[in-house]
Amino acid sequence: IYCSGDKVAGRVLVEVAEVTRVSAVKVLACGVARVTWAKGPAQCRQEMEYLRFEDVLALEEQPTDEDGSVILRPGNKYEYKFGFELPQGPLGTTFKGKYGSVDYWVKASLERPACPTQQVKKRFEVMDPVDVNTPELLSPVAAKKEKKVSCMFIPDGRVSVSAQIDRKGFCEGDEICINADFENTCSRIVVPKAAIVAKHTYLANGQTKVFSQKLSCVRGNHIISGTSESWRGKTIRVRKLKPSILGCNILRVEYFLQIYVSVPGSKKIILELPLVIGSRSGIGSRSSSMASQTSSEMSWVDLNLPDAPEAPPCYLDIVPEDHRLESPTTPLLDDPDGFDSPIFMYAPEFKFMPPPTYTEVSAAP
């Protein structure tokens, strides 16, 4: 993985099966941010260039003709060396998302008289370092929100939530400690939860496209009417993530800690605390060395999303036939989150006693 100002060096190896005249071997290095999506019949498209380097390579100690071409012979390996320096200043971190990407690559081209140009392309990764040890990212972040709940336009109490985290900047493997207070005075059972959410913002042709994805989630206990709950040091781990991309004009990658309460029959109450995912671990991190050692393995397409909860055993396998219900489960709480299982209440089925057995007797003598 390279950073701004680093030197990139490499070589192009050429082998031929027969005597071949090569006009030129060229190398092109590019770094481009691209955003594209379809909006009806039109295409929204935008590009931003970070790097462009071109060079014509030469073989050392190899005679050339007047036109600059060389003769390559089979059985030999010809090595063309190249090198360039990445620009100073901010560079977009290598990234691939749903509507855009930031790519860096080197392309070598071999030109021969009266023959098609042969090309080979090699990608490389660039990271724009994000230091989470700055005073701004080491400062606490807090928020609070309250929602009035109603049923058929009749007031039904309120639900409130307040939360705080000790800092804003984190790295892979860090634990986010959450302090939060929840209060429920409505008549419904509510469920507090927290999740790390990635938000990708794409800008092209004056239009904006936003894609959000929940990465990991934790939940608390159910809060019945008239009660409250507090979290003190509840943790959620920062999984394998790309660093935040905040300096690109057409593409942004942001992260948030969402602390929210699911209220049946009503919209969720959501608090969003901004996070910055960095490449250098912050003070008090339990995993600073791990974050630096594994930075070269970071990839957005490889998010370890939480596995789906294991399905419960089949109803028919655990309940005797004479105790089975016609409709065994009735949802008690509407919980649309994919990370949680719904809660059910069990209502016994009312059964009438069967009539006594009888036999038919023929009326004929």
- pLDDT tens digits for 72-88? 999 999 999 999 999 99
H or E segment at 157? strand 154-165
Token couple for 217: 């989630």
> What average pLDDT does the chain have?
80
Model confidence at 265, pLDDT cuts 50, 70, 90, reads confident
Model pLDDT, residue 267? 87
- Contacts of 301 by beta carbon, 8 Å cutoff, 6+ apart: 96
Q: How far is CA 213 from the centre of its chain?
A: 6
Q: Are residues 55 and 191 in the same domain?
A: no
280-305 burial, b at 16+ Cβ within 10 Å, e below that, comes to bbbeebebbeebeeebeebebeeeee
- 62 & 172 share domain: no
- To the nearest whole percent, how much of the chain has pLDDT over 90? 60
Q: Is residue 209 part of a domain?
A: yes
Q: What is the mean pLDDT of residues 246-252?
A: 92
Tell me which of 65-69, 88-92, 174-178 is least confident. Answer: 65-69
Residues 119 and 171 in one domain: no
Claim to verify: residue 22 and residue 102 sit in the same structural domain: yes
What's the Cα-to-Cα distance from 291 to each of 77, 137, 297, 323, rounded to whole Å? Answer: 40, 17, 10, 54
pLDDT of residue 221: 92
207 and 240 in a single domain? The answer is yes
Rg of the chain on CA atoms, in Å: 32
Residue 313 lies in a domain: no
Does 306 score more than 60 pLDDT? no
pLDDT tens sequence across 32-46 = 999 999 988 889 999
Predicted local confidence at residue 336, as pLDDT: 40
Q: Are residues 145 and 290 in the same domain?
A: yes
User: Which of 276, 302, 328 delimits the end of a domain?
Assistant: 302
Q: Tokens 């807090």 identify what position?
A: 142
In a domain, 180, yes or no: yes
H helix or E strand, kind and range, residue 317: helix 315-318
Asked if residue 97 is part of any domain, the answer here is yes
pLDDT band of residue 360 (cuts 50, 70, 90) is: low
For 52, the token pair is: 């462009």
What's the pLDDT tens digit per position in 217-229?
Answer: 999 999 999 999 9
> Mean of the pLDDT values across residues 187-197?
94
98 and 145, same domain (yes or no): no
| Boundary (domain end) residue, out of 123, 151, 183 | 123
Q: How confident is the model at residue 349 (pLDDT cuts 50, 70, 90)?
A: very low
232 pLDDT higher than 50:
yes
Per-residue pLDDT, averaged over 141-145, amounts to: 94
Evaluate whether residue 359 is within a structural domain.
no
Closest to 2 measured CA to CA, from 144, 100, 126, 158: 126
CATH number at residue 279: 2.60.40.640
**Domain end residue (candidates: 271, 302, 333):** 302
The whole-number pLDDT of residue 353 equals 52
Q: Do 205 and 78 sit in the same domain of this protein? A: no
- Same domain as 110, residue 203: no
Region of poorest pLDDT, from 65-74, 150-159, 233-242, 340-349: 340-349
One domain for residues 171 and 282: yes
Cα separation of 77 and 79, whole Å? 6
CA 111, CA 116: separation in Å to the nearest integer? 7
- In this structure, are 96 and 172 located in the same domain? no
Q: Are strands 100-111 and 24-39 parallel, antiparallel or unpaired?
A: antiparallel
336: DSSP letter: -
pLDDT given at position 62: 76
The larger pLDDT score, comparing residue 289 to residue 186, is at 186
Indicate whether 232 belongs to any domain.
yes
Smallest CA-to-CA distance from 162 within 184, 144, 141 is with 144
Task: Give residue 93's pLDDT band: very low, low, confident or very high (50, 70, 90).
Answer: very high
129 closest CA partner among 48, 245, 32, 288: 245
pLDDT digits (tens, 9 = 90+) for 280-293: 654 333 333 333 33
Amino acid identity, position 133: N
Task: Establish if 186 belongs to a structural domain.
Answer: yes
Determine the pLDDT at residue 300: 27
Q: Is the pLDDT of residue 147 over 80?
A: yes
Do 62 and 180 fall within a single domain? no
Q: Quick one: tokens of 103? A: 């790519």
Q: Which domain holds residue 109?
A: 7-123
**Number of domains comprising the chain:** 2
Q: Is residue 81 part of a domain?
A: yes
> Model confidence at 182, in pLDDT bands (50, 70, 90)?
very high
